[in-house]
Amino acid sequence: MSSNQVFPVILCGGSGTRLWPLSRSGFPKQFLALSGDDSSQSLFQQAVIRINSVANANITLGNTLVVTNEDHRFLVLDQLRELGKEANKKISGLSATLLLEPAGRNTAPALSMAAFCAQQVSSNHEASNQDPILVITPADQTIQNPAAFTKALQDCIQTVEATENTIAILGITPTAPEAGYGYIQRTGNKDQNNAYVVDRFVEKPDSKTAQGYLADGSYLWNSGMFVLKASTWLSALKEFRADIYEASQKAWQTKSEDAADGVGFIRPGKEEFKSIPSESIDYAVIEKYPKSHYNIKMVELDAGWNDLGAWDAVWQVGKQDQAGNVTSGDTLITNTKNSLVHASSRLVSAVGVENLIIVETADAVLVTDRKNSQDVKNIVTQLESQNREEKNLHRKVARPWGWYDSVDEGERFKVKRIQVKPGASLSLQMHHHRAEHWIVVKGEAEITNGDQVIHLKENQSIYIPQGQTHRLANRRTESLEIIEVQSGSYLGEDDIVRFEDTYGRN
């Protein structure tokens, strides 16, 4: 049995702009259920289960290290809890530590935080040689053959253990001359661990070059999944990008730690982290490995991999009917071929169309030709330039305590449907510019209204005056739902003054 403790690392910081309007910066694609045998599981949940499957008699796993945005920490927690409920037992993926980034700095700083964390944990592990192995995967990919994925990662772990200063990367068997992926060229024959030597990395080619790569047979797609020792990553980063290493080290040294529901939160120093140069793992280190004094190997993976980089990819991995259509939600189609139709909140119908992507949410509709689905990012750019909220949030917004759905609004009023999870509560707060009426429609509410604390049941209501300190809480074991009617001169979400908050928000 190896003395190296193995840490699954899930990079969960992407925004998934090409899958707008379903993916938003406040609820990005990794938290959506888009594919897989169990359609109720999000891409992140699938990644947790998949990466923890590498454990066997010779591979001991440490906590799953999830590197994610500070704003997404409760989405991660909720989805980890859901995994436990589905399995009706504690699974290894729930033994997690969340590394919370205060700002996006690409994947090289994210991996550095995971490497520092693994070293810290491993140094306290009596059976460890204090050189932990990291198994790294993005949170937003799909694999159709999990068993092949598990075997390939186990081969990568054995490769890294066998040779010092080695990175083992998964190369995807190409199925088409895809110009949207980076490529890895292998050389020679595979060794006893099914690993090839990597000759070079190639940036995204043009279509003609990609066709040549496919015909050549020695080029594979770069999956962004790999295995290495924490010390190897930090040593190479210090050599190739000392500026990123030094800034990352300072951010780690100024970290703070806390926990919720048995899951640890680690927050790097905020200002120190923001000062780290933004760079990807590939550009910072991995593409500099070939022909250096470091070793880079590649294990081939043929397992139905897809990174779901655009709506056309979602169509490709979806369950297609005889006409090549993929549908989700309340849809009716006729005389339609090779199209994806996704309905979130109402009936969506399509008649006599081909090769289209149609995606409906409560506040936005996307229609695009499948071959142009990569260009959805241009719509997101326009939304950002116009400061439109549809870029960031859905009409229904997840919160640590539950969610709210803005069902109607007009001049000087807004109506929300609010659900509070069992045992949860909103912050103790007040508003400068609005008053609120609350009507309980399900469950029982505990309401702080100034100096009063009262309990309301279904069909009972209360008025919260403008400027009044108040809190909504659910002390029961079932969900609480209310209808909130706001009225006032300004109804923005930033008109909240918090006095106490369970979730550490300002």
Superfamily of domain 6-171+224-280: Spore Coat Polysaccharide Biosynthesis Protein SpsA; Chain A (3.90.550.10)
Q: Which residues in the chain land under pLDDT 50?
A: 1, 36, 38, 88-90, 92-93
Strand partners, 420: 402, 480
- Distance (Å, whole) CA 216 – CA 185: 10
Nearest residue to 367 (alpha-carbon basis) of 32, 337, 375, 332: 375
For residue 90, count other CB atoms closer than 10 A to its CB.
11
Output b/e per residue, 365-399; b: 16+ Cβ within 10 A.
ebebebeebeebeebbeebeeeeeebbebbbbbbb
- Per-residue pLDDT, 4: 76
CB 269 within 8 A of CB 250: yes
- Per-residue pLDDT, 329: 93
The model's pTM: 0.91
- Distance (Å, whole) CA 383 – CA 390: 7
- Per-residue pLDDT, 39: 58
Q: DSSP of 399-440, one letter per residue? A: ETTEEEEEEEEETTEEEEEEEE-TT-BPPEEE-SSEEEEEEE
* Crossing angle of helices 242-253 and 230-240, rounded to 10°: 130
What residues contact residue 322 under an 8 Å CB cut-off, 6+ apart?
A: none
For residue 207, count other CB atoms closer than 10 A to its CB.
10
Nearest residue to 140 (alpha-carbon basis) of 56, 225, 43, 11: 43
Distance in angstroms between the alpha carbons of the first and the last residue of the chain: 47
**CA within 13 Å, CB half, 392:** 8
What residues contact residue 500 under an 8 Å CB cut-off, 6+ apart?
A: 427, 428, 471
Fold exhibited by the domain 396-500: Jelly Rolls (2.60.120)
Q: Report the SS3 class of residue 71.
A: helix
CA distances for 289 relative to 11, 163, 168, angstroms: 21, 14, 11
CB 373 within 8 A of CB 358: no
Domain boundaries, the chain: 6-171+224-280, 317-381, 396-500
Nearest residue to 97 (alpha-carbon basis) of 83, 77, 112, 71: 77
Amino acid at position 147, single letter: A
Strand partners, 405: 396, 417
CB 251 within 8 A of CB 103: no
- Per-residue pLDDT, 258: 87
> What element of type H or E holds 161?
helix 146-162
